[in-house]
Amino acid sequence: MEKKLADPVKEMEVLEEKLADLELTQEQSNILSNIVHSNNVRLKHDVAFLKAVSDNTQKELHWTRGVFAGERGRTFQLHI
């Protein structure tokens, strides 16, 4: 009779341990998911910043090319 009662109790203890392991795994999964999310947000901000820097650099390059073209034109006219 005691053996019949001991088996379900032992099985219940094993199931409780498995449940605790699953809860810990879920918590760790949530932590990792939050880390990935925050990294993605940071990377999106970094990409937006780098795009703005690139756009600004392209504008400055375009302006500088215009200045050089104007200077070449003036230099050419002075030589004529």
Question: What is the predicted pLDDT for the residue at 72?
Answer: 83
Question: What is the predicted pLDDT for the residue at 71?
Answer: 83
- Enter the DSSP assignment of 80: -
Alpha carbons 36 and 45: distance in angstroms, whole number: 14
What's the predicted TM-score (pTM) here?
0.64
Nearest to 61 by CA among 53, 72, 49: 53
Mean pLDDT for 20-26 is: 99
Alpha carbons 51 and 55: distance in angstroms, whole number: 6
Mean pLDDT for 6-15 is: 89
Alpha carbons 36 and 49: distance in angstroms, whole number: 20
Question: What is the predicted pLDDT for the residue at 42?
Answer: 99
